[in-house]
Structure 1
Amino acid sequence: MKYGIGLPISQPAQLLDWARRADAADFSTLGLLDRLVYDNPEPLVALGVLAGATTGIKLQTEVLIAPLREPSLLAKQAATLDLMSGGRFVLGLGVGGREDDHLASGTDLRTRGRRMDEQLGLLRRLWAGEPHSPGCGPIGPAPSQPAGPELLFGGFQPAALDRVGRWGGGFLAAAAPDWAGGLFDTVRRSWKDHGRTGEPRIVAQLNVALGPDHSVAEARSAMSAYYEFSGRADYMVAGMRTTPEEIHTASAQFEELGADEVIFYCYGGDPAQVDRLADLLD
């Protein structure tokens, strides 16, 4: 199984340090979440900067809120990042459930799923080099990968899980091991129902913080602030793994469920967490 690093959002200027450490430690992936009405870096811009500071590690949105974005421009941005990173970009997508994000973007929260499905069809056509529409030609550049960047889909509802089978790619599970297994099974059924060959790629997220008490406290505070809107911040923070034993146990559970990769999501700003996690995996 592979392991990646989910980047914190509290101190964007430090992300270059995080990325270089993760790349040097042979982590598989850098993940970065997306919000609009929040004090986080815009993920496509940030990952573009990090692509130039790294050489081998993948760059993954976890997840980009597609309905907030105009699809033609998104197709161009994703293709550019995929091409200029040498095919290292992975486009994780979701519909977003925060009303303020949709208010700020002028999009309708109620139709976000339908909008994303329409976007996916256009993205795939544009990445294949097809014209945008009658009277409007193709939008380049062509991505590094002929079908476009690898796609991952996040979510919990049946329609969200079924996108993995409908569109291909894989599933990004922001769920604890004790209930992720059911999501994995649903995604695999969707894959087979849509006649896909092979298996979908399954990526799990695990919220972690390793280090001295002040580093762990900082991570908990940042995570609590991020999830305050949900009314479940205490529950989310309680699920953070903060010891080597907890992290090993949860990772092993994900592996037993058939996950291909675990992304260790870090909310604190201390970049030495990367080194501690690398030492844990040696």
Structure 2
Amino acid sequence: MKVGIGLPPHDPISLVDWARRIEKGPFSAIGMLDRIVYHSPDPLITLAVLAGVTTRVRLQTEVLLAPLRNTALLAKQVASLDRLSGGRFVLGLGVGNYRGPRYDDYKVAGVDRHTRGRRLDEQVAEMRRIWKGEPYDAETDPIGPQPTRPGGPEILFGGFRPRALARIARFGDGFLAAGPPPYVGHLMKEVYGHWRAAGRSGSPRVVAHCYVALGGEDVVDDARTTLVDYYDYTGEAGGIAEYMVTTPRDLRIAIDRYSDLGVDEVMCYCWARDAGQVERIADVL
């Protein structure tokens, strides 16, 4: 079982220290969330910086809200980060939590949230065409650079609703599964069903998100405050905070349960600003 660390949505400067600690530990990846109307840093710019202070771990967006961005520019940014990181970048995509479709993010981006799913499908097809080196149109030259992997980096999709889960089999390489083990298991069954129905060989790679805060009462309180503030737009932030893991024993149990489900990787998303959590999670592993 691979285990990565998801970075907290705090001061960008502190995340360089987090990345260096993660690189030294038994971790597989660094993950970042994506919001515009929040004080969190832009994930693509931040991961580009973190690529420069790491050499081993993968760098993942989980999830990047592609519909908020210009498709051609996003394709160029992703290919650039992929090349700069030596092929360590994984593109996690989505449209926003179904409990609250990010009204504010779509508003400031000037994008119609009602067509976000269809727009994402079109964007993925267009980006893959750009990454193949095809001209943008009859009058425009190709957009570079070329990604490290032919056809572009690995693409994972997050989602909860049937259409979002079906998108994984149609366009993706794997699934970003957010939630406690029983809920993730339910979603995985649906994803596997779509995968088989689409005639895909093998299985999608599954990356589960586990919200974590290890440490004293002050660390846990800080993490819970941040998590509730971040997910306030859903109207269910208190319920989301209830399944945050706060003890080493419970984290070990959670990882084992995800493993029993067949999950390939668990991302431990840290919500407190205390970077010492990296070492505490490493001790559990």
TM-score category by the smaller chain?
over 0.9
Summarize deviations over 1:3-54 as a string: whole Å, max 9, x none: 0000001222110010010011031010000001111100000000000000
1:173 partnered with 2:177: yes
Identity across aligned pairs (percent)? 53
Cα distance in 2, alignment partners of residues 181 and 70 from structure 1: 34
Matches for 1:61-100 after TM superposition, within 5 Å: 61-96=61-96, 97-100=101-104
What letter is aligned with 2:282? A
Indicate the residue corresponding to 1:48 in structure 2.
48
> Which of 118, 132, 136 is the aligned partner of 1:132?
136
What letter is aligned with 1:136? T
Cα distance in 2, alignment partners of residues 99 and 255 from structure 1: 35
Indicate the residue corresponding to 2:233 in structure 1.
229
Indicate the residue corresponding to 1:216 in structure 2.
220
1:274 partnered with 2:278: yes
Unaligned stretches of 5+ in structure 2?
none
4+ long deviations beyond 6 Å: none
Q: What secondary structure is seen at the aligned counterpart in 2 of 1:93?
A: strand
Greater alpha carbon shift after TM alignment, 94-103 vs 227-236: 227-236
Cα distance in 2, alignment partners of residues 86 and 178 from structure 1: 36
1:22 partnered with 2:26: no
Contact in 2 for aligned 1:26/1:57 (Cα 8 Å): no
Indicate the residue corresponding to 1:120 in structure 2.
124
Unaligned stretches of 5+ in structure 1?
none
What letter is aligned with 2:34? D
Matched positions, count: 281
> Which of 186, 191, 194 is the aligned partner of 1:190?
194
Cα distance in 2, alignment partners of residues 42 and 30 from structure 1: 14
Cα distance in 1, alignment partners of residues 166 and 216 from structure 2: 41
Cα distance in 2, alignment partners of residues 252 and 11 from structure 1: 32
Cα distance in 1, alignment partners of residues 225 and 125 from structure 2: 40
Contact in 1 for aligned 2:181/2:254 (Cα 8 Å): yes
TM-score scaled by structure 2?
0.97
TM-score scaled by structure 1?
0.98
Contact in 2 for aligned 1:132/1:138 (Cα 8 Å): yes
Alpha-carbon distance, 1:216 to partner: 1.1
Indicate the residue corresponding to 1:245 in structure 2.
249
Contact in 1 for aligned 2:30/2:57 (Cα 8 Å): yes
Cα distance in 2, alignment partners of residues 151 and 168 from structure 1: 5
Contact in 1 for aligned 2:157/2:172 (Cα 8 Å): no
Cα distance in 1, alignment partners of residues 104 and 228 from structure 2: 18
Contact in 2 for aligned 1:10/1:222 (Cα 8 Å): no
Indicate the residue corresponding to 1:3 in structure 2.
3
> Which of 142, 145, 162 is the aligned partner of 1:158?
162
Q: What secondary structure is seen at the aligned counterpart in 2 of 1:53?
A: coil
Cα distance in 1, alignment partners of residues 196 and 141 from structure 2: 35
Q: What secondary structure is seen at the aligned counterpart in 1 of 2:52?
A: helix
RMSD, matched Cα? 0.8
Q: What secondary structure is seen at the aligned counterpart in 1 of 2:210?
A: strand
Q: What secondary structure is seen at the aligned counterpart in 1 of 2:257?
A: helix
Contact in 2 for aligned 1:51/1:85 (Cα 8 Å): yes
Cα distance in 1, alignment partners of residues 134 and 202 from structure 2: 27
Cα distance in 1, alignment partners of residues 195 and 284 from structure 2: 34
